[in-house]
Amino acid sequence: MSELPPDPNLSAPLGHLEGDSPPAPDWFRDAVAVAPEVGRVTVKGARLETFAWGPRGRPGLMLLHGNGAHAGWWRFIAPFLAGPYRVAALSWSGMGGSDWREAYDLDTFADEIEAVAGETGLFAAGPPVMVGHSFGCFPMLTEAGREAGRWRGAVVVDPPIFSPERRTGRRREDGRFAPHRIYPTLEAALARFRFAPMQPCEALYIADLIARESLKEVPGGWSWRFDPSLWARLVLPDRAAMVREARCPLALVTGDRSDLMRPADAAYVQGLLPPGSPRIDLPEAYHHVMVDQPLAFVAALRALLAVWPP
């Protein structure tokens, strides 16, 4: 029996656009028109790309992106949060516009959170709150486990933390990696963009923004900005222990259609959290909740932060 051809909406959501930007709604255009304060912070020899929105002196809110992503993933989210909050985002070393390192570890990523939060003024009004998506949860939880009282809370968004039953069936990475391909044109590179894990995307205007800001011009064409060797030597500690050892309140946000964090995984993580920890499940959201349901995600964060942490 022959296999079905790959679904281009999953494997190449921007391919049919042939390099053109799709139409976008007014709310999105207005949000990305709000220019962030762009800065650079050096941590252990690597210069990090930082964005900030909102006035200094407001309660701090730190937004932490996932693997292979960049600070620009928050450009259409942060302006909706920047009225009552001083909001900051970084590109992890090895990703986005930040420098690459010879090797990567979670303690250094946590140092990056502290340095950027300090430089962007997030501590000015007291302990800030962190929001970490996917891989970004791991440095966030590392930082949350360091010092009680330093952070007011941490929001764990669709984390790659799996139930014991599911862990037994997952393939382990072998540490090998391949260098990025170089695409002859920007159009060709955009046509190769896809989400990881692959998922449908109705908001192609968001995918287009993310993809364009994930690329850089190099000799011979265009290539991705993240370091393909990052995972070759990065070791993650016990993920459940990271949750249990956090020294600030935790909340869990999930996408109810996520193929990464399935219902059994979400229930498992919920069981690791302190009793009474908030849980929000976003309808019709896959793993990349800010792409799938951006305004619902904003509303969820606004509502959560209005009453939590107590």
Encode pLDDT of 147-205 as tens digits: 999 999 999 999 999 999 888 755 555 556 788 999 999 999 999 999 999 999 999 99
CA distance 232 to 234: 6
Res 3: pLDDT: 46
Average pLDDT over residues 235-250: 96
Q: Of 98, 89, 96, nearest to 48 (Cα)? A: 98
SS (HEC) of 24-82: CCHHHHHHHCCCCEEEEEEECCEEEEEEEECCCCCCEEEEECCCCCCHHHHCCCHHHCC
Res 173: pLDDT: 54
Handedness of CA 143, 125, 52, 260 (dihedral sign): positive
* Residue linked to tokens 């985002």: 89
Percent of the chain with pLDDT over 90: 90
Half-sphere exposure of 242 (CA within 13 A, CB side): 24
CA distance 297 to 44: 33
Average pLDDT over residues 280-291: 98
Confidence of residue 232 (pLDDT cuts 50, 70, 90): confident
Res 167: pLDDT: 80
Structure pTM? 0.95
pLDDT: which is higher, 231 or 251: 251
Report CA-CA distances (Å) from 18 to 113, 192, 217, 222, 246: 37, 11, 18, 15, 46
Mean pLDDT of the residues in the chain: 95
Res 2: pLDDT: 39
Res 169: pLDDT: 55
Handedness of CA 234, 239, 244, 246 (dihedral sign): positive
Which phi and psi (to 5°) does residue 290 adopt?
-75, -20
Query: Rounded to 5 degrees, what angle do the CA atoms 131, 255, 92 make?
Result: 35
List, in sequence order, every residue forming a beta bridge with 46; answer none if it has no partner. Answer: 43
**Chain centroid to CA 64:** 5
* Residue linked to tokens 């340095």: 115
- Please check the confidence at residue 4 and state whether its pLDDT lies above 50: no
Decide the pairing of beta strands 60-64 and 129-133: parallel
Collect all residues with Cβ–Cβ distance below 8 Å to 299 and sequence separation of at least 6.
none
Average pLDDT over residues 23-48: 99
- Please check the confidence at residue 5 and state whether its pLDDT lies above 90: no
- Please check the confidence at residue 222 and state whether its pLDDT lies above 50: yes
pLDDT: which is higher, 1 or 307: 307
List, in sequence order, every residue forming a beta bridge with 48; answer none if it has no partner. Answer: 41
Res 309: pLDDT: 96
Q: Of 112, 111, 123, nearest to 151 (Cα)? A: 123
The CATH number corresponding to 44-161+177-307 among 3.40.50.1820, 3.40.50.720, 2.30.40.10, 3.40.50.1970 equals 3.40.50.1820
Query: Rounded to 5 degrees, what angle do the CA atoms 93, 212, 137 make?
Result: 40
Res 178: pLDDT: 82
Res 131: pLDDT: 99
Q: Which two tokens stand for residue 177?
A: 């990696």
